[in-house]
Structure 1
Amino acid sequence: MRISTGMLYQTGVRTIQDQTTQMLHTQQQVATGRRIVAPSDDPIASARALEISQAQSLNSTFQTNQGSAKDSLNLLENKLYAVEDIITHTRTRAVEAGNGSYSDSEWGAIAIDIRASFDSLLGLANSQNGNGEYMFSGYQADVKPYVGNINGVSFQGDQGQRTLQVSPSRIMSVSNSGSEVFNDVKAPQGEFFAVPGNPNGGTGYVASTQTTGTYTGTQYLVSWDGTNYNVTDRATGAAVTSQTGPTLSFGNVQLEMAGTPSVGDVFEVGPSADVFKMYTNLTRALENPSSNGVSGAISQAITGMDQSLDQVLTVHASVGSRMLEVNTLEDVGSDLDVQYADTLSRLQDVDYAQAVSDLSLQQTYLQASQQSFLKITNLSLFNYLG
């Protein structure tokens, strides 16, 4: 076989280029710390590493959401603690007001404290988080949930719960609507609440309540027309009775009305009521005691505070359960993060000892190729002529 000078040069250059390419590839591995510099280095491992990286990124997103959920629930828990303290304080003051030896001025002093507690409770119900969102307004985060004063408060929010996805299979509520905390406080089984409606212009209130038979849970509206109290079924709007008062009897319930209602004022009777209306009824009773005293209104207020506290504690327990779940998910997320990092390291990271050894060997090969190429290219018959 004849070997031309051109073939010698081509073979030598190709060998040097191959050795240089291999050495540069190894240098990239050492410089980046990655075994896979390009997907073609290991297509299977490269595809698997991409899947793991995507899973790791998704897990990082869930960890961020878990932190946000934890912050929201912590803030919610703090507000609920404050609500519980206020309701407990109000109950204590109501029990104190039940002292039959108290004078009107002493009841008035307690009423001032009850008003202050009402204002504090209303402020908590309108609490905002660090983003300026109202915490108890449901989905309507930019809407102030409770509007009004001691004479009447209306709920402007909805019953929605804001959520965050904290794991691939878990979407968690990070808020509770005010309707769960402050509205629809349930009376004990077989009993009812009777409170002023929203808003009433007069100072009328319900001085006492009692059942005269089995109360079935029907809701009633009692409106004052200046002469009579007109009772209607709240669900159907049907008229039930019209009585002059102050004692009203209908549907196995009996009410003792007091104070000075304005024409058009409405009172609500039913198996539930919101806590703010309970404050209104108690305050009016203490500020304008009836001839029979305030014991009936105080008794209803104490029951209302007990039921309100139970409702808040139920929500609080739910918040605590979610906080515990978030803590567990954070632990799981941290473990997954470590596992993903370990898997990626095994798939992608270079073995430095092996890479440095290969680089040294490839440098030797390259130098040998260069030296041999020089010697071969110096071979010529002209060196022997002369």
Structure 2
Amino acid sequence: MRISTTMQYTNSLSYIKNSNSKVDEKATKYNSGLKFQSAGEDPSGMASKVKYEGAIAAYKQYIEAGGIANNSLSEEETALSSMWDTLSSVHSRLQQCVNGSNDSSSLKALSAEIAQLRDHLFDLMNTQNTEGEYIFTGAQSDIETYTLTSTGKYVCQADGSTRGVVVAPSVKTQVSDSGLDIFENCKTAYSMTVDTSNSISEFVRSEITSYGTFNSLFEKYYSSATGANNTLTINLDGSGNFTLYAPDGTTVIDSGEVDSSTSINKIAVRGMEFTISDATATGDIKFSLDKPETENMLNILTDIVAVIDDESVSNVDKVAAITKCQVDVEIALAHYDSYRGQIGARQNAITNVLNANESLSAIKVESKANVSEVDAFEAASELIRAQNQLTVSRQIYSMLNKQSLFDFI
């Protein structure tokens, strides 16, 4: 084999080029921290990297969505909490209204305060988030939840829909509640109506004095079936005794004597009180259990303010109306509080999901690093090794540059 000077130079230059390429390659890996830059370098590695990057991006989106959901639920919970406080204040004012020591001016002052609390409740029901959306309206978030009509009635404009956010691959969380469900579909106190056309002429008036006892009677005997008989009967025997019959007309619910100890003759039975003009009257008092109703608190409070301010309404009727309104407020408080509980449960669920998402995202990040990223210390060592090889190759070339084959002849 013949060796020429040119061949020596060519081999040395080739060695320098290869060493220089290795230095560039190792420097790129060290500086970028990546094992490869293209799919051609490592097809399977690049496929795994893309897969992990997609999963990491998805979990990032889930975490952001969860944060938005938590903020929305916090706004709703805060608004409902303020409403609960406002209604609690209303309940206290109503309790003061039935105080027998109040004169007309005191009652008007209390009714004015109740009206102000109603207006505050109206504002809270129309709560907006930072984007200016009404949080209780549903899908049509640009429309006020409640509006006051020219007739003085408050009308709900919520559409009944809710919004949800996906916070995990298979988890969608509700982040809003419709005012139609919270405020408009809130039940009111049970009631009953005396049928004056089919009752004795001695009947004067009726009143529910104990809603707790009356509610038990109502829930046992009221039927929502179409055409159901919800009429109960009180029979008076003419001797001052009465008997309360169930809708079937034969089942005895209760019995007793007419209270005639005062100038007013009263029949007190199952949380109800019926006033008659003659304790020895004979015949029946028929009354129906009214269909349960729903109404928003804004209209309920407007009506009770009007009753309190109306001097033509007797004190007895005012007390009866205020007592019923107190029960309505208590029902609303419990109803609103149930939604607060639901919101709290959703927030806890979101927190747990977000914690899991962060853990899973961290695992994906680590897996991606194992596939596509180099070890910093290893990359530095390989770069130094490549630089040393380049230095040696340059030194050899320098030595060869000073020699020729004639030196060996």
Shorter-chain TM-score: which interval?
Answer: 0.7 to 0.9
1:296 corresponds to which residue? 320
Shift of 1:346: 2.2
Deviation at 1:145, TM superposition (A): 1.4
Contact (CA 8 Å) 1:79, 1:124: kept in 2 or not? Answer: yes
State the alpha-carbon separation in 2 of the partners of residues 276 and 358 from structure 1: 77
Distance in 2 (CA, whole Å) between partners of 1:193 and 1:105 is 32
Provide, for residues 150-169 of structure 1, a one-character-per-residue CA deviation record: whole Å limited to 9, x for no partner.
92111122111122211111
**Residue in 2 aligned with 1:236?**
none
| Equivalence for 1:91 | 91
Give 1:227's aligned residue.
Answer: none
CA distance, structure 2, for counterparts of residue 174 and residue 181 of structure 1: 14
Aligned to 1:284: 306
> How big is the shift at 1:40?
3.5
Q: 1:316 aligns with which of 340, 346, 349?
A: 340
SS state at 1:185 partner: coil
CA pair 58-384 structure 1, distance change in 2 beyond 3 A: closer
Answer whether contact 2:167 2:354 (CA < 8 A) is retained.
no
**Partner residue in 1 for 2:293:** 271
Per the alignment, residue 345 of structure 1 pairs with 369
Cα deviation, 1:282-341, whole Å, max 9, x if unaligned, reads 111101151343022112201110111111011100110011112212221222232223
Aligned residue for 2:378, secondary structure, equals: helix
Q: Helix, strand or coil for the counterpart of 2:317?
A: coil
Q: Which runs of 5+ in 2 are unaligned?
A: 194-205, 227-284
| Deviation at residue 140 of structure 1 after TM alignment | 0.9
User: For this pair of structures, how many residues does the alignment match?
Assistant: 328
When normalised by structure 2's length, the TM-score is 0.71
1:154 aligns to what SS in structure 2? strand
Query: Which residue in 1 is equivalent to 2:47?
Result: 47
CA distance in 2 between counterparts of 1:384 and 1:323 reads: 88
Report the 3-state secondary structure (helix = DSSP H, G, I; strand = E; otherwise coil) of the residue aligned with 1:273.
Answer: coil
Look up the match of 1:361.
385
Q: Distance in 2 between matches of 1:120 and 1:19?
A: 79
Aligned equivalent of 1:252, options 265, 288, 291: 288
Q: What is the TM-score when the length of structure 1 is the normalising length?
A: 0.75
Please give the alpha-carbon distance, in whole angstroms, between the structure 2 residues aligned to 1:369 and 1:192: 103
Measured after TM superposition, the shift of residue 374 of structure 1 is 5.2
Partner of 2:180: 179
Contact 1:35 1:349 in 2 (8 A): yes
Question: After the TM superposition, which residues 214-225 of structure 1 pair with which residues of structure 2 at under 5 Å, given as runs?
Answer: 214-217=221-224
Displacement of 1:172:
1.4
Residues of 1 paired with 2:384 and 2:101: CA distance? 101
- Mapped to 2, the partners of 1:69 and 1:185 lie a distance apart of 25
Shift of 1:19: 2.0
Give the structure 2 partner of residue 137 of structure 1: 137
Residues 151 and 74 (structure 1 numbering): CA distance in 2 closer, same or farther, change over 3 Å? same
Whole-angstrom distance in 2 between the partners of 1:109 and 1:372: 106
Q: Aligned runs of 1:57-76 on 2, under 5 Å?
A: 57-76=57-76
SS of equivalent residue, structure 2 residue 132: coil
Kindly state the Cα deviation for residue 126 of structure 1 after the two structures are TM-superposed. 0.7
Equivalent residue of 1:314, what SS?
helix
> Taking structure 1 as reference, are residues 306 and 286 closer, same or farther at Cα in structure 2, changes over 3 Å only?
same
Aligned to 2:263: none
Separation in 2, partners of 1:164, 1:193: 44
Give the Cα–Cα distance (whole angstroms) in 2 for the partners of residues 218 and 155 of structure 1: 28
Mapped pair 1:325 → 2:326 = no
Q: Percent identity?
A: 23
Provide structure 1 residue ranges, at least 5 long, that are not aligned to the other structure.
195-206, 220-248, 255-268
Where 2:105 maps in the other structure, the secondary structure is helix
Distance of 2:43 and 2:191 partners within structure 1: 72
Q: Indicate the structure (1 or 2) with the bigger Cα radius of gyration.
A: 2
The 1:333–1:19 alpha-carbon spacing in structure 2 relative to 1, beyond 3 Å, is: same
Aligned-partner Cα distance in 1 for 2:49–2:366? 11
| Structure 1 residues 157-196: aligned runs within 5 Å | 157-187=158-188, 191-192=190-191
| Gap change, CA 1:97 and 1:381, over 3 Å in 2 | closer
Asked if the contact 1:217/1:270 (under 8 Å) is kept, the reply is no
Q: Tell me, yes or no, if the aligned pair for 2:183 and 2:296 is still in contact at 8 Å.
A: yes
